[in-house]
A and B are shown apart, each in its own frame.
Chain A
Amino acid sequence: MALLQIAEPGQSTNPHEHKLAIGIDLGTTNSLVASVRSGEAKVLPDAQGRYHLPSVVHYGANRTIDVGFDAKANAENDPENTIVSVKRFLGRGLKDINETYGKLPYTFVEKENTVNLLTSQGEKNPIQVSAEILYVLKTQAEQTLGGDLMGAVITVPAHFDDAQRQGTKDAAQLAGIKVLRLINEPTAAAVAYGLDSGQEGIVAIYDLGGGTFDISILRLNKGVFEVLSTGGDTALGGDDFDGKIVQRILANAGVTEELSAKSLRKLADLGRKIKEQLSDVDSVDFNIDIESQQLTGSFSKADFEAVIADLVKATLRSCRRALKDADVEKEHILEVVMVGGSTRVPYVREQVKAFFGKEPLTSIDPDQVVAIGASIQADLLVGNKPDSDMLLLDVTPLSLGLETMGGLVEKVIPRNTTIPVARAQEFTTYKDGQTMMAIHVLQGERELVDDCRSLARFVLKGIPPLTAGIAVIRVTFNIDADGLLSVTALEKSTGVESSIQVKPSYGLEQNEIADMITASMTNAKEDIQARMLREQQIDAVRMMEALETAMTEDNAIVLDEERVVIEQAIEQLKQATQGTDGQAIKQAIKNLDDTSQPFAARRMENSIKRALTGHSVDKV
């Protein structure tokens, strides 16, 4: 028989009791992995001591897959097979990609539920490409930490929609990572900043990365990180700054011809280099061969600021909107924290400073802070800190709505609602004998269906054939702590379960559908109980008030011993009403009814007597 091991308080006999968990910042340009070790959150370096992994995947001709620095080295030689900034394609349609990014050095293949990239190793979808990056980070972390991981917290831009979040989660699953939670990048940054600085109050996190922009307004209070509002743009980042530089150079040189993938990649790299150098110098000379032409010239800081002015202005518009949504004045912002590599651009810092009227905080490492925040959350989620008081209260960035008559969207859950959230909406049939109903779920702020992102289409089947308007279908929308949506449905009038057929715009799986139906059955029971309870409570209040009024009015006819038992019964009912037991309330109501019966009877007689007396007095 094994002896029990007893540890000294605060000490562990088993070092593996500290569960290994990581935080991953899956960025557009670079990705990082961090972990809490010996109580300190740190970014984990690779074998060469490098702290970041370029988010680049190269599919080689000999079936090799390179990720990171090696892949990046290939970008210029083999642009079609070197996927850069894949995060921008996650959860998006081809039309969307073309409209947002223009000419890219890839061959896209449109599928029913996704857009694939054609490589020398066949079609790869953005989820698979992302999984390659995650796999490298996971392996690196396992080697550094020396053990199996319990799971990971992965960060996503706050403004990611449902499809982009689901895509990230699916990528992690493909990479064999257990996702503890998806958290928003600015929220992760706030956690790292807040715990480090110990500040309390309202902070703004301005997060401008390679491909996305987020602004989040948070209230920090005693370990609680409460997101008041968030805003942003999932297609605005440093890559777009590079693109603007390239556009200007091409326009100045009068280049209008179709460019090869190689030239496009070369130009994008040139744009990035010019941008980076302009942080330190006032002008950059360039000399580049594209196709048959040689482009030479210089690009000044003033040129750069002119081409990105509109983009920066767009970020400030999001800031104003977020402040308004949070109902916070600029003056009440304690600190503006700059996150993301693109906040290194001096013009961005100047503009943010001018907007908020205060010097933004740039002292924390804008590249590492997100991964560090994620690792702190991961440490908490695996249970390494059972006594922690930390709490993240995040919001949903986009409104969730339903298609109604005439292609309009009716909002069910408005943006900036704290998650998790559950909201129900009731529908009825519009034709006699209708047994099916189609429901279209959308995400976005605009009024028209066409202007919002389509999330899913549901067909409710098995509705009992009744007269139009009689069947009531209750559809409940749930957004969980990862910001992901699920839907349950129930036909109320007959209690008949409706089956749900899900035709998602981006993958929901079969077993999830089964879960939804099970969940809708439990919801049904709760519903009936909740309504019963409310009815009982209302009855109880009504009865007590009526009785108390009566006893005041007819105080004289209440017998002393009767008064004691009635007051006891009222007290009991009051107690029951405070609780959530509908049956107990019902019982207490009946008890009060029985107890007060003699008084009620007497009061009745008395009132008749009085009426009669008054009548007879008149007569006399």
Chain B
Amino acid sequence: MRFFDLFELPVSFQLDNELLLERYREIQKKVHPDHHASASDNEKLLSVQKASEVNDAYETLKKPLTRAEYMVAEHGFDVRHEQHTIRDGMFLMQQMELREELEEIESATDVEAAFDRFYSDVKQLINEYTAKFESEFNQSSFESAADAVRKLRFIYKLKEEAQLLEDKLLDF
């Protein structure tokens, strides 16, 4: 099952999230185990499997990073599970700078402002590499598109770490 096909959407990074949600709900109304609760065991099992698949497809397409990962995986680049070293010196430098910025937040005088600055830097990078991914993908340069996705994974990971730190520092 191809995820875009499942929701009858074109294979494209640009996605109508409302439409996706609407179609997701319509499909779940058919396949969800609650609608097969009095059915045979086989049908129930099938329903659980199908509903799990539909949930997986929806979750994957809903979020930009997983959507991009999925799109390159369909072209043979399994960036989620591969062992791959990024050798782009410029990018690695950017990452190091961001990491330093993150480490310094804890000792900043205005922690919240420091977080805002950091998130804004992260957002800029995300926009940059998302645009790169899209244009490479649309030109069917899947190798380069996959490379952009690998970098996006790095950036999102950093964002996640920042959120954990934020929780810790701002009394969650």
Give me the interface of A with B, judged by CB distance under 8 Å. Answer: 180-181, 221, 224, 226, 317, 320-321, 324, 377, 380-383, 389, 391-393, 417-422, 426, 478, 480-481, 519, 530, 534, 537-538, 541, 545, 578, 580
Contacts and interface: CB of A to CB of B under 8 A. Distances in A.
Which of B52, B55, B59, B171 counts the most chain A CB atoms within 10 A? B52
Given A381-B34, A382-B38, A478-B52, A418 B59 contact: yes
Interface in B45-85: 45, 48-49, 51-53, 55-56, 58-59, 74-76, 81
A109 B37 CA distance: 38
A541 B140 CA distance: 10
20 contacts: A221-B25, A317-B172, A320-B172, A381-B34, A382-B37, A383-B37, A391-B29, A391-B32, A418-B58, A419-B55, A420-B51, A421-B52, A422-B53, A481-B33, A481-B34, A519-B45, A534-B74, A538-B74, A545-B140, A580-B1
B48 A420 contact: yes
Contacts of A478: 48, 52
B48 A481 contact: yes
A538 B75 contact: yes
A534 B71 CA distance: 12
Nearest to B1: A580
Interface string B11-43: 000000000000001001100111101100000
A391 B28 contact: yes
Interface of B: 1-2, 5, 25, 28-29, 32-35, 37-38, 45, 48-49, 51-53, 55-56, 58-59, 74-76, 81, 140, 167, 171-172
A480 B48 contact: yes
Cβ-closest 7 pairs across A and B:
A381-B37, A422-B52, A481-B33, A420-B52, A383-B38, A418-B55, A420-B48
Contacts of A534: 74
Given A422-B49, A478-B48, A578-B5, A537 B74 contact: yes
Contacts of B5: 578
Contacts of B2: 537
Contacts of A324: 172
Contacts of B28: 391, 393
Contacts of B140: 545
A580 B76 CA distance: 18
Contacts of A382: 37-38
Nearest to B76: A538
A578 to B, nearest CB: 6
A221 B81 CA distance: 36
Contacts of A545: 140
Nearest to A313: B171
Contacts of A541: 75
Contacts of A391: 25, 28-29, 32, 34-35
Contacts of A381: 34, 37-38
A377 B55 CA distance: 21
A357 B172 CA distance: 19
Nearest to B50: A420
B56 A421 contact: yes
A380 B35 CA distance: 8
Nearest to B8: A578
A343 B168 CA distance: 28
A515 to B, nearest CB: 9
Contact of B33 (A420, A530, A578): A420
Contacts of A421: 52, 55-56
A181 B52 contact: no
B133 to A, nearest CB: 18
A557 to B, nearest CB: 24
Nearest to A377: B34
B25 A224 contact: yes
A426 B171 CA distance: 36
Nearest to B37: A381
B149 to A, nearest CB: 17
Contacts of B172: 317, 320-321, 324
Contacts of A393: 28, 32
Given A321-B172, A389-B29, A481-B51, 8 more contacts: A382-B37, A383-B37, A383-B38, A393-B32, A421-B56, A422-B53, A537-B2, A541-B75
A160 B29 CA distance: 26
Nearest to B11: A541
Contacts of B55: 417-421
A481 B58 CA distance: 17
Contacts of A578: 5
B8 to A, nearest CB: 10
A393 B21 CA distance: 13
A522 B37 CA distance: 22
A480 B33 contact: yes
A610 to B, nearest CB: 25
A541 B2 CA distance: 13
Contacts of B32: 391, 393, 481
Contacts of A530: 1
Nearest to B81: A426
Contacts of B56: 421-422
Contacts of B167: 321
Nearest to A383: B38
Contacts of B33: 420, 480-481
A531 to B, nearest CB: 11
A537 B11 CA distance: 13
